[in-house]
Structure formats: C-alpha cells, structure tokens
Chains A and B, each alone.
Chain A
Amino acid sequence: MLLEAFVGALFEVLRWDALSFMLIGVVAGFWVGLLPGLGGGTTLALMLPFVYRMEPVAAFAFLLGMHSVVSTTGDITSILFGIPGEGTTAATILDGHAMAKRGEAGRALGAALASSLVGAIVGAGALLLAIPVVRPLVLTFGSPELFMLAVLGIAFIASLSGRRPRAILRGFLAGTLGLLLASVGQDPQAGHFRYTFGSLYLWDGLDLVPVLVGFFAIPEIIDLAVRGTAIAGEAPRGRLGGVGVGVRDAFRHFWLTVRCSLIGTYIGVVPGLGGGVAQWVAYAHAAQSVPPAERARFGHGDVRGVLGPGAANNSKEGGALVPTVAFGVPGSSAMAILLGAFLLVGLTPGPDMLTKHLNVTLAMVWTIVLANVVAVGGSLALLNHLARLTAIRGSLLIPILALLTFVGAYTANNSPADVVAMLFFGGLGYLMVRYQWPRAPLVLGFVLGEIAERYLWISVARYGAAWLARPVVLVLIALTAAVIASTLVQYRRAAARERSP
C-alpha cells in the first residue's frame, strides 16, 4: 500500500509540469548556493508568490527543488574560495579549502558532492521511514532533552582542539568566547539588552551569516594576498582534477558519511535546534572518529572533514521536513517559510499529510532525491573546470572574492552594520589563524550557546530540578561524559605512546 503510493508519487513528480518546475528550482538553487549571502531561506520567501496558482506537487517540486540543492552547491564555494556559499556550508571550509590550497580542489569537491548525495538520500529516506513513527520521534524531545543535546554538541569542542594541553585550553577558551557571543542581544527571558552598546543592530543578536562570512573568508583573502600566488599555490598542476578520488573517498569512509547523514537528519527532525547546527556537530563527530595519531592533520585538509558536514547539511533538510509536514511546526527557518507554502496551495500540515495527502508528502521525498541527483550530476560535469579556478593568479581573484564577501555579508540584513560585523569577525578570524587558535570551537559555541541557554531556562522554569531525572536526559548526560572522557583517554594514550616508542 505504502509502496504503491511511493511509486505513484514518483510518477507525479515526473509529470512534465512538476518536473519542469523542479528543474527551474534546481537551476535557481544552484546559483543561490554558489553565491555567498543569498541564502536558501530568503530565496524561498522570494519564490513563494509564484506558487499561488500551482498544484501542490508542482509547487513543492519547485520550492524543494531549489532548497534541497542549495547546500550541495554551497559547499563548492566554501571549498574553492573559503567563503561560505551558505550559512549552512561553512564547516566544509576548514578541511575542504585547506585541500584546495594543497591543489586537491577536485578531490575535495568530489567528496563534498558524493557525500551531499548520500546525505540527501538518507534524509529523504528518513522522511519516508518516519511517517509511521513521527509522533513519538518528535515528542520525546522536550526542552530538557534539547538542552542536553546542545551540551553534548558543546562537549565535542574537546576533540576539535588538538591534543596538547595548550591546544585544549585554547579550544575551550575559543568555545567560551563563542558562547558569550551567542548571548549578545535582547535576552528572550526577561528582555534585557546584553552587549548591545545602544545599537539597534545588535538587538536581535549577531547574525550568523556576516559572522561566518567574515570569520572564514577574510583570513583566506589576506592569506591569498600575502602569498601572492594562486589559491592552489605551487601545487603541481596535474592534481587539480581528482574528482573521482574524492567520490571514492566518500565510499571508502562510507560508514562515516552515513553516520554524519544520520546526525544531520536527527538534528533536522528535532525542531528548535536550527539549520546551522548540523554541519558543526557532524564536523565535530568526524574529528572525534579520526584515530588520535592522524588527528594532527584534521582541520588542515583531511577529506573526512569534508565528508561529515557535506553529508549532514543535506540530510538535515529531509529531517526538517518531518515536523513541518506532520505537526505544522517548522524544523528550521527555511521550513517556516515552506510552511507558508502549504497554506498557499490549500494544504494544512498535520496528520492529514500522512493519510489524505500522503501523495504530496511522498512526492517531497522524491523531489529531494531527484533534485540532488540532478544538481550533483550537473556539478560533476563542471567540476574539473571549477577546480581550475584555484590555479588563477591570486591578484586577479582577490577583487572578486572581496566583492562577494562584502555583498554576501550585506545581504543578511541590508544593513551597513552587517559589513562592520563581517570585518570585525574577519579580523578576529585572521588573528586566530595567525596565532593558531582553533576556529571551529568558537563557531560551535556560537551556534549552540543560544539553544543551550534557551532550553536550560525553560527546563528549570517548567520542571525545577526534576528535569535532570528524565530518562533521555540521563542517557544524554552519560553520552556527554563519554565523549569528553574518550577524547581525554585517547590523548593520554597517544602521549604515552610518544614518550615510550
């Protein structure tokens, strides 16, 4: 019965009108992903007025076709230029762009695309499998559990920092700074203004996009200018290709790719964590799973650091659709906009979507998969040309990269203060790179700090101290302890082995 409906939905998506709308969406999403600043959520809002007269299946093929490829092509910009193509693809910069600088852009891109496709399929599969069990899946996660999930994510900082005591200390300091930065703005509980310095821009807190764009792109641009070479520097020309190697990497580390896809899916399914989190938790998980002996290379061009976030930022979309479709509660800010589309085409999200309108839900599953197949196929054809961009002289690229960076930051709020924020975090990012402070913990603290604070407040206000005794909370506490302990034990063993060879 479900299978029949599933196959039926495929043919609905393959009807000429739905298919052509999907292809238009994919082409739009391709560019939206490549261009920094212009995000998937904003573009969804711009596309919304076009769906007033469409059939539901065609409308969602159009919208989801766009949205589900944005993270795929966003990875391309992140890897090639070190500028986050999307707010959700910043984590691929750390290792992906480092690979590009070594002349392995092709391999990094191949790995990102292959893992994106795996992620999209896992995410779509989750949407399909979740249909019968969606209520318990979403409802077991109350505010206390969300708080502990954020804490678990923050605990990964230990594995992102490096192994010497000094590096661990720096990692925790950077993470703490991230947590502090997350507290800027009007606090949601009592309405006090924190660190806003009388500026209206800081009322709503720091915006993720200008912060990430500056934090990652500016150091790369300065580095490119200082080196005076192409992005790929003196690397031998022959290695610019290697797309096939990257694709094979995704399957060589297949289990890691799948695990990170599942992490992304689950973060998507749980509403209240937000779209920017999945990539960082997946990145941290990838770091965690690398054997300590090889961890020194992680963050400096390890393909596993590309596969993790590459998979997670795609799989989270399928996951985020689950609560959107089943409860009418969006799993991410882009899904909140998609929710508006349901009403426009005359559907009410909720239990009906799993029975009466099951065909529309299943068509969404197919749209996510097909759109990504098209986007990945299209990108693969272009990749070897794209990878050659890293061989262009830096002095020719820098003006273009600087323009993209400034425009990308400015489009976040159309405010000059966006550019100031971008430059400030650009400076901070440059200093951190220069003095070898790890940047990933800061971002992890920044994206998780707000979540942790929010749900700790609600948990205590609602349950007093009783929230600590909830079973899922206990499991998560144990997991957090295990993550920290295993990292420390690994480091200690590695250190011991070094002392006694």
Chain B
Amino acid sequence: MKTLLAVLLVVLLGSLAWPASAPAQAQTTFAGRTITIIVGYPPGGGYDVMARLVARHLGRFLPGNPTVIVQNLPGAASVVAANQVFSAARPDGLTVGAVNRNLVLGQLVKAAGIRFDMARFAWIGSPATETTILALRADLPYRTPADLRRADPAPVIGATSVGGSTYDFPLLLKALAGFNLRLISGYRSSGDIMLAIERKEADGRAGSYSSIKAFIDRGLVRPLVRGFASVPAIERLPVDEDLVGDPRARAVMRLRSVPEVVGRPFLLPPGTPAEIVAAYREAFRRMVADPEFEAEAERAGFELKYTPGDQALRTVQEVLNAPPDVVRVFSQFFRFE
C-alpha cells in the first residue's frame, strides 16, 4: 500500500512538473501525451529499428516533450499499417505511420488491398535514404557493366522474392541494359543469399548498400552498379539508368529508384492540421542533425539524410504522374509485395 501511494505521488508530481518544462512559445503542445508510431513490419527489421530509434529521440524535439512509443502492425508489406493510418487514425498528431518506401509504386501499379492515396497523407518526410546496388563475388572476373554484358555463362543472382529490390533491380538491368544474368528467386532473406554466395551457389545479389556494406568491406563481394539514390561512399559507381540509351527505359529505371530517396517514410493521417505537421517536420529536421541521434543511427547502419515532407510529397506526385507508357513497361517488370 505504501509503495502504491509513493508511486501515485511520483506520478502526480511528475504530471505537475511536466507542462512547466515545455517551451512556452509553442502553439501546439504534446505535453503529457503519448505518441504512437505504427510500423508496418514485425520487430527487428530495418523499418522497425529506425522507428524505435526515432521513438527514443523524437520526444526531445517535439513541443511538450511527449512520450513516443512504437506499435508493430505487420502485414502485406505494410499495406495494413498504411490503410490504418490513412482511414482509422485520428488526425491529431498522436499517430504516426512508418511504412514501406515502395507503397507508392504499389499504388501506381494498382496492387490489391491498397485503400490509401500516398499523395493525401500529411508527410513528415524521411530521415534516411536507401541505395540499391548490385554486387558480385570478388573472386569472379567481373569489374564493369561491360563485363556483365559479355558474361558467359551468366552469373547467378540470388533474390528473395519477385517484387523485392533484390529481384527487380537486376531484372531491369537484364531486360533493359542487356546484362547477362541468371536470376534465382526464393531465398528466405538477404542473409540467406549472402550465405549462398559464400558457398558459391549464387554469384551475387542486389540489395540495399547498408545491408551489403559489411560483406564488401570483408572482401567477399564487389559492387558494380548502383541505383539513382546515392550515398557518398558509392557516389562513383555507374548508375543503372546511365547504362541504357532509350529514354523510356531510363524513365522506367528512374521510377524504380525514386522512392529510395524517401528511404524511411514517416507520415501522418490526411487532414492533420498544418501547425502539427510543421511541428513534426521541424522536430525531424533538428533530430536528424542531433549528434546523439546521428551516432546511434550510424551504428545501426543507416545513411542519414533528411528529406522534408514537402519534398517527399513532390517525389510521390512525380511517381504517380509518370507517363502511361512508362508505367505500362514498368508494370511488366514490377510486382508489388
């Protein structure tokens, strides 16, 4: 009983002290509130780790220093979570979505189950970019794109499933840039492909630079081509769209790459008041520049680069307004999942 009283006392004192420490100039204040970040994936993956990292720090930068928690709502490559944030969450700034960067491509090719419009979310932006690269085993004689066009027999490229970036990036290189590749899909995870490369079942794979980096550093694989979005360490790699002459093929490759600029999308429900959106964008901008956040993000393997909400929204509109002939070719190669 005594401990219960003590706890009550602490809670009471805490709730009295909290609003007092909030900045007085803020119009919007989240003092004493709890913000929930809904992640579209189960615990442990890249999106989840980023959301938990943001949850640890975001509170310090929002007016009123609210508590931020993470809730996992996995399912259908985060379509379930996006549907929830789009139509079920209240636009009061207390629910934030952290979803798949490729949802906009899913909307473009009219994938099943999507009941949201990416252009109507109130975009906070993205704290990081993701870059897709193609890497092959370093003991193989392939060093340039030209080597891969001439390759015989075709190197085996392992992929997880049809629709992931491990699959569609090499598929476009094969179909549009004339690379001679043999794609084998069905591996359970990118880690399993890496192991297949170690035992020479596969010769290489595509995937995010952050997930392959350790194996490049160890000398197992060598990067050959990158997508449009980039980070300084691989700035000088050949870009996929520069390897094709046809403007439509270029546009198709660009379409695949563009969402990677907005690598880790964070968004609010449609109709969220402008001042709340502004408070979030400002908080993210300051958070990404914060040394403590930077240090932890770097250890977790993220390539920090804040893409503000208005810019993210423009990117989304650019994708959704792609010319119909480009979309038609793109849909032949891309399968949302």
When chains A and B are docked, how far (Å) is the Cα of A458 from the Cα of B202? 10
When chains A and B are docked, how far (Å) is the Cα of A2 from the Cα of B52? 38
Do B194 and A189 touch (CB < 8 A)?
no
What residue of chain A has the Cβ atom nearest to residue B114's Cβ?
A200
Q: A198-B113, A414-B73, A461-B186 are in contact. List 10 more A-B contacts (CB 8 A).
A: A49-B53, A52-B299, A193-B112, A203-B76, A203-B77, A272-B195, A327-B198, A413-B75, A415-B80, A461-B184
Is the CB of A41 closer than 8 A to any CB of chain B? yes
Is the CB of A42 closer than 8 A to any CB of chain B? yes
**Count of chain B residues with a beta carbon within 8 Å of a chain A beta carbon:** 50
Known: A191-B335, A415-B73. A200 touches B43 (CB 8 A): no
**Count of chain A residues with a beta carbon within 8 Å of a chain B beta carbon:** 51
| 15 pairs of residues in contact across A and B, judged by CB atoms under 8 Å | A49-B56, A139-B198, A188-B160, A188-B162, A188-B186, A203-B76, A327-B195, A328-B215, A329-B191, A333-B44, A339-B191, A340-B300, A344-B296, A348-B218, A413-B74
Query: Residues on B close to A: CB < 8 A?
Result: 42-44, 48-49, 52-53, 56, 71-77, 79-80, 83, 112-113, 156, 160-163, 184-189, 191-192, 194-196, 198-199, 201-202, 214-215, 217-218, 296, 299-301, 335, 337
What residue of chain B has the Cβ atom nearest to residue A348's Cβ?
B214
What residue of chain A has the Cβ atom nearest to residue B192's Cβ?
A272
CB < 8 Å A-B pair total: 136
CB distance from A401 to the nearest CB of B (A): 25
Q: Give the 8 A-B residue pairs with the shortest CB-CB distance, closest first.
A: A45-B43, A337-B44, A191-B162, A188-B161, A203-B76, A200-B76, A139-B199, A329-B191
Q: Which residues of A contact B48 (CB under 8 A)?
A: 45
Do A191 and B163 touch (CB < 8 A)?
yes
Is the CB of A330 closer than 8 A to any CB of chain B? yes
Contact with B along A160-202 (1 / 0, CB 8 A): 0000000000000000000000000010111101000010110
Q: Which residues of A contact B218 (CB under 8 A)?
A: 348, 350-351
Do A204 and B199 touch (CB < 8 A)?
no
Do B49 and A200 touch (CB < 8 A)?
no
Do B194 and A328 touch (CB < 8 A)?
yes
Q: Which residues of A contact B189 (CB under 8 A)?
A: 330, 336
When chains A and B are docked, how far (Å) is the Cα of A190 from the Cα of B183? 12
Q: Which residues of B contact A138 (CB under 8 A)?
A: 195
Do B186 and A142 touch (CB < 8 A)?
no
Is the CB of A478 closer than 8 A to any CB of chain B? no
When chains A and B are docked, how far (Å) is the Cα of A413 from the Cα of B74? 6
When chains A and B are docked, how far (Å) is the Cα of A41 from the Cα of B161? 23
Q: Which residues of B contact A204 (CB under 8 A)?
A: 74-76
When chains A and B are docked, how far (Å) is the Cα of A42 from the Cα of B71? 12
What residue of chain B has the Cβ atom nearest to residue A198's Cβ?
B112
Q: Which residues of A contact B53 (CB under 8 A)?
A: 49
Is the CB of A457 closer than 8 A to any CB of chain B? yes
Do B184 and A272 touch (CB < 8 A)?
no
